[in-house]
Amino acid sequence: MPQPPRLGVAVITMGNRPRELDALLASVAMQDVPADRVVLIGNGSPLPELPPLPGEVTAVELDENLGCPGGRNVAIERLMDFGDVDVVIELDDDGLLVDTDVFRRIRDLFAADPRLGIAGFRIADENGETQRRHIPRLRASDPMRRGPVTAFLGGGHALSTAMLARTGTWPAQFFFGHEETDLAWRAVDDGWTILYEPALLLQHPKTSPARHAVYYRNTARNRVWLVRRHLPLPLIPVHLGVWTLLTLVRTRSLPGLRAWAGGFVEGMRTPCGGRKPMRWRTVWRLTRLGRPPVI
């Protein structure tokens, strides 16, 4: 009988949410299938005193804030260096695992499908409400609809280490914004499945991405980098044109639009970190899944 997938947990914190971090780690410790390893990253900040956790625990304090993808890469590298982790579970430090069977569900999902690359969580606030932007499909009326998708949420997800060994890890230069789409497109292009599984619940306070000071600039810069890195040449102007029109219609902040324009120019002028355009069959696969890579 094959051995069930071994689980590693990665949590990145900037040290500014100690109570939320304590609650998250307590919910990790209460899982009925414990993680084999836990890595905690202080992203440019010291780590607080940690509560007892099952499995092997590694704490790393980085001298500088590497951003979301950079910090996650450090955690993934540590977990993969041990050689005994098959699935990496990444959780926001202000999230909470309400149910005690989340890790067991993840283990069973990856055991059942060797081509499952990414399992995305459902994100809901303390009232059980899921924001529209947290449902990874265009038709977002039903957050309980399970199935294959083309994207996943950074706040809570699980990644196959076999997939990461082939696709590479997070684009660290993005720092914040669109890093999930970059990894998702690479995964789909390599033939992996991304599953949205609403039974995997992460409770998370309702937030707006615009709360981050770098939101508008990074969103624009990273979107341009994303399409330069991964889209076939004919689709690049289509994607950027559609996205520019949507941004002009949706954005009500004049300073935000100025920052967005600056980020757009930066994305066009600066290196995007290497180009590997997806295959046209990947474009078709994304389209069949309901999200053509021009929207």
Token pair for 82: 């041990």
d(CA 134, CA 123): 6
**Among 188, 207, 226, which residue terminates a domain?**
207
**Among 172, 207, 242, which residue terminates a domain?**
207
Is a pLDDT exceeding 80 seen at residue 11?
Answer: yes
Whether 227 is in a domain gets the answer yes
- pLDDT score, position 209: 64
CATH (domain of 120): 3.90.550.10
The pLDDT tens digits for 92-144 are: 999 999 999 999 999 999 999 999 999 999 999 999 899 888 888 877 788 99
Is a pLDDT exceeding 90 seen at residue 178?
Answer: yes
- pLDDT score, position 2: 76
E strand or H helix at 204, and its extent? none
- Say how many domains are in the chain: 2
Co-location of 200 and 219 in the same domain? no
The pLDDT tens digits for 268-288 are: 999 999 999 999 999 999 999
> Going by C-beta distance under 8 Å and a sequence separation of 6 or more, which residues neighbour residue 138?
290, 291, 295
Co-location of 165 and 221 in the same domain? no
Is a pLDDT exceeding 90 seen at residue 227?
Answer: yes
Co-location of 266 and 137 in the same domain? no
Q: Are strands 156-160 and 116-124 parallel, antiparallel or unpaired?
A: antiparallel
Co-location of 30 and 83 in the same domain? yes
d(CA 42, CA 47): 5
The pLDDT tens digits for 247-260 are: 999 988 899 999 99
Tell me what the mean pLDDT of segment 78-86 comes to: 92
Co-location of 106 and 226 in the same domain? no
**Among 160, 178, 207, which residue terminates a domain?**
207
> Going by C-beta distance under 8 Å and a sequence separation of 6 or more, which residues neighbour residue 18?
48
Segments forming the whole domain that contains residue 121: 7-207
Cα 60 → chain centroid: 20
Helix (H, G, I), strand (E, B) or coil at 47: coil
Token pair for 264: 């757009």
